[in-house]
């Protein structure tokens, strides 16, 4: 579904990604793991068109999107939830959800997401649909940000550190919700919470200083203590 080939991305003159390549297969959950500053978020922003690589290529379902604007990438079927759980603070929960809708976007199986379906996934949002974004807790903002991404009817859902800042019980609940989404979506996520990522994902990549150092299935990664110690410090 997604193929990233040898991309080099810069912040000003700083060379952040030095030839990153990865592939996400349709129907799988893939995690990108690494320490802070390793290049995980830059990789996601490059895929989403927030940053444009100076070289290399990014293809979604065979279409080159390397230099495509973010709003056009969203219309193609990719939704992105940034690490800071970005929502519109002055809008209500329901108004935030309406902002996520992309007209005409339906999944290939015809089971598109609408606001009612997001309420079924996160019943708490229905109870607070008239509450403003600025008045939500961190866990509530994460539920809302994820629901906003779903109302865009993506085929690929990209999540940047979805468990960051959440209490353990909320992390566990979020993991259950994301596992249920795997039946309908392809997922690419970055994570510092290794246990959370491994329980959700089918395959994983380790990134260090803008370079992929390791890739494998989750079963392989579970048995790679040397890799985890070297690149993740666990």
pLDDT in tens, 43-90: 999 999 999 999 999 999 999 999 999 999 999 999 999 987 789 999
Establish if 178 belongs to a structural domain: no
Confidence of residue 108 (pLDDT cuts 50, 70, 90): very low
Per-residue DSSP letters for 104-167? Answer: T---TTS----HHHHHHHSHHHHHTTTSBGGG--HHHHHHHHHHHHHHT--SEEEEESTTTT--
pLDDT at 4 over 50: yes
Question: How many domains, the chain?
Answer: 2
Q: Same structural domain for residues 116 and 161?
A: no
pTM over 0.75, yes/no: yes
User: Is the pLDDT higher at 233 or at 140?
Assistant: 140
Alpha-carbon gap, residue 183 to 25, rounded angstroms: 14
**In this predicted structure, what is the pLDDT of residue 106?**
61
Report which listed range, 42-56, 98-112, 212-226, is most confident.
42-56
Average pLDDT over residues 107-129: 82
DSSP, residue by residue, 48-66: HTSS--SEEEEEETTEE-T
- Among the candidates 154, 177, 198, a domain finishes at 154
Tell me, what's the pLDDT at 61? 96
Domain identity same for 109 and 120:
yes
The secondary structure of residue 65, as a DSSP letter, is -
Q: Is position 171 within any domain? A: no
One domain for residues 71 and 90: no
> Is 174 among the domain residues?
no
Local structure of residue 3 (DSSP, 8 states) = E
Residues 59 and 1 in one domain: yes
Same domain, 52 and 112: no
Q: How many CA atoms lie within 13 A of 33 on its CB side?
A: 31
pLDDT band at 31 (very low <50, low <70, confident <90, very high): very high
Asked if residue 64 and residue 160 are part of one domain, the reply reads: yes
Domain boundary among 154, 174, 200: 154
Q: How confident is the model at residue 112 (pLDDT cuts 50, 70, 90)?
A: confident
Minimum mean pLDDT range among 102-106, 118-122, 124-128: 102-106
> Among all chains, which residue has been given the structure tokens 């708490």?
124
Percentage of the chain with pLDDT > 90?
71
Q: Both 203 and 225 in a single domain? A: yes
Q: How many CB atoms lie within 10 A of CB 224?
A: 15
Give a yes or no: residue 179 inside a domain.
Answer: no
pLDDT at residue 10 tops 80: yes
Q: In this structure, are residues 33 and 43 in contact, taking their beta carbons and an 8 Å threshold?
A: no
DSSP 132: B
Q: Residue 232 — very low, low, confident or very high, per pLDDT cuts 50/70/90? A: low
Assess whether 106 and 71 both reside in one domain: no
Give pLDDT, residue 89.
94
In CATH, what number is assigned to the domain containing residue 232?
3.40.50.300
Q: Longest C-alpha distance within the chain, in Å? A: 50
pLDDT exceeds cutoff 60 at 110: no
> Same structural domain for residues 46 and 9?
yes
Residues 48 and 162 in one domain: yes
Final residue before a domain boundary, out of 154, 175, 208: 154
Tell me, yes or no, whether 176 lies in a domain: no
- Lookup: tokens for 58: 């990014």
Name the band, by pLDDT with cuts 50, 70 and 90, for residue 158: very high
Same domain, yes or no, for 14 and 113? no
pLDDT-derived band at 223, boundaries 50, 70, 90? confident
Residues spanned by the domain of 99: 85-154
pLDDT of residue 111: 62
Residues 115 and 61 in one domain: no
């Amino acid at each position: 579904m997604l193929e990233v080939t040898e991309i080099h991305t810069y912040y000003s003159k700083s060379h952040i990604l030095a030839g990153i390549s990865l592939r996400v297969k349709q129907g799988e959950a893939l995690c990108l793991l690494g320490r802070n500053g390793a290049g995980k978020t830059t990789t996601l922003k490059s895929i989403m068109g927030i940053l444009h690589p100076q070289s290399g290529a990014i293809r979604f379902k065979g279409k080159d999107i390397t230099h495509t604007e973010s709003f056009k990438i969203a219309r193609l079927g990719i939704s992105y939830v940034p690490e800071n759980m970005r929502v519109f603070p002055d809008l209500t929960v329901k108004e935030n959800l309406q902002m996520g809708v992309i007209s005409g976007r339906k999944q290939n199986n015809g089971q598109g997401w609408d606001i009612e379906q997001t309420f079924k996934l996160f019943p708490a949002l229905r109870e607070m649909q008239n509450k403003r974004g600025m008045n939500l807790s961190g866990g509530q903002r994460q539920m809302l940000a994820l629901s906003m991404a779903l109302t865009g009817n993506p085929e690929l859902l990209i999540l940047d550190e979805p468990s960051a800042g959440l209490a353990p019980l909320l992390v566990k609940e979020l993991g259950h919700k994301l596992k249920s989404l795997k039946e309908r979506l392809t997922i690419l996520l970055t994570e510092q919470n290794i246990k959370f990522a491994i329980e959700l994902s089918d395959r994983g990549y380790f990134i260090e200083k803008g370079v992929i150092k390791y890739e494998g299935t989750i079963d392989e990664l579970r048995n790679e203590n040397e890799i985890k110690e070297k690149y993740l410090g666990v």
